[in-house]
């Protein structure tokens, strides 16, 4: 990835300049704090910069959507977070949001409206697909030409919201060989992170979910396991390490594939 500096305006800066961004990039907690996920965040920004998108982030005004609390049963904490975020978003009169995480995507899109936060929300793979369709982004296969890629469906993008094609469409532009696991799309298997499992030890059993899932992905002997979620990314990366396959198989977000292929 090239080292051209990225340009990331915040909402506050934009408003101060009297500008109104077309779209808000919701970075999410993983995208903001997790070292691996920050790279995905930057890949998304590079794509946005490349097409000259008029976007902004909330920066320090962003706070967790409340998803991990909600899925863990803490509805109070979720609604406190949600209403706080909605106050900020509505204060900036935000209309359209792209998220770097399927959990943020799902909860803002589906569970915020009833609490007063109504926005058009898309996942970053949908944004990339739109940019390609509109002709704003041309994708070359680049380094990924002929590479074997398996795509792991994030539960809250796929089953949760029926978005199966956007990430596949985008990957198909890379001239790579896209392979489907037996458990894919509506039958996809969770990476093991969802439902707040990311934040706790697994319950007693005979296997880790991420090992089960990565095993399935690795059985296709892929060059790349493509994901669309920072938590899946962590889980699958750990899974690949578990099988000592880091040299052969990389775990990458769809946004990174595109940014890398285009040498952004």
Nearer to another protein by Cβ, of 168 and 213: the residue is 213
Shortest distance, CB of residue 124 to another protein, whole angstroms? Answer: 15
Shortest distance, CB of residue 82 to another protein, whole angstroms? Answer: 8
Instruction: Measure the CA–CA gap between 232 and 213, rounded to whole angstroms.
Output: 10
Residue 79: count other Cβ atoms within 10 Å of its Cβ.
16
Nearer to another protein by Cβ, of 173 and 197: the residue is 197
Shortest distance, CB of residue 236 to another protein, whole angstroms? Answer: 13
Nearer to another protein by Cβ, of 8 and 132: the residue is 8
Nearer to another protein by Cβ, of 88 and 132: the residue is 88
Shortest distance, CB of residue 239 to another protein, whole angstroms? Answer: 12
Instruction: Measure the CA–CA gap between 52 and 104, rounded to whole angstroms.
Output: 24
* Angle ∠(85,26,230) on CA atoms, nearest 5: 120
Closest CA to 226 of 120, 85, 124: 124
Shortest distance, CB of residue 247 to another protein, whole angstroms? Answer: 25
Shortest distance, CB of residue 135 to another protein, whole angstroms? Answer: 29
Nearer to another protein by Cβ, of 12 and 130: the residue is 12
Instruction: Measure the CA–CA gap between 156 and 118, rounded to whole angstroms.
Output: 19
Nearer to another protein by Cβ, of 15 and 80: the residue is 80
Please answer whether residues 262 and 51 qualify as being in contact, where contact means their C-beta atoms are separated by less than 8 angstroms.
Answer: no
Instruction: Measure the CA–CA gap between 249 and 237, rounded to whole angstroms.
Output: 9
Nearer to another protein by Cβ, of 57 and 174: the residue is 57
Please answer whether residues 6 and 45 qualify as being in contact, where contact means their C-beta atoms are separated by less than 8 angstroms.
Answer: yes
Shortest distance, CB of residue 258 to another protein, whole angstroms? Answer: 19
């Amino acid at each position: 990835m090239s080292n051209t500096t990225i340009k990331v305006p915040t909402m506050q800066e934009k408003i101060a300049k009297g500008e109104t961004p077309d779209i808000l990039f919701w970075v999410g907690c993983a995208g903001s704090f997790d070292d691996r996920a920050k790279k995905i965040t930057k890949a998304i920004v590079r794509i946005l910069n490349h097409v000259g998108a008029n976007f902004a982030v909330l920066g320090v005004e962003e706070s967790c959507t409340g998803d991990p609390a909600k899925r863990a049963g803490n509805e109070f904490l979720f609604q406190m977070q949600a209403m706080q975020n909605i106050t900020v978003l509505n204060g900036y009169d935000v209309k359209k949001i792209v998220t770097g995480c399927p959990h943020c995507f799902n909860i803002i899109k589906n569970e915020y409206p009833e609490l007063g936060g109504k926005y058009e929300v898309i996942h970053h793979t949908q944004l990339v697909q739109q940019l390609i369709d509109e002709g704003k982004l041309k994708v070359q296969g680049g380094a990924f030409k002929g590479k074997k890629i398996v795509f792991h469906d994030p539960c809250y993008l796929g089953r949760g919201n029926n978005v199966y094609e956007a990430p596949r469409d985008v990957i198909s532009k890379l001239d790579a060989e896209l392979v489907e696991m037996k458990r894919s799309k509506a039958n996809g298997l969770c990476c093991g992170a969802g439902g707040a499992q990311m934040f706790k030890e697994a319950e007693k059993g005979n296997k880790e979910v991420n090992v089960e899932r990565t095993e399935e992905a690795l059985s296709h002997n892929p060059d790349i396991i493509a994901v669309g979620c920072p938590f899946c990314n962590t889980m699958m990366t750990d899974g690949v390490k578990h099988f000592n396959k880091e040299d052969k198989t990389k775990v990458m977000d769809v946004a990174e594939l595109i940014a890398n292929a285009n040498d952004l």
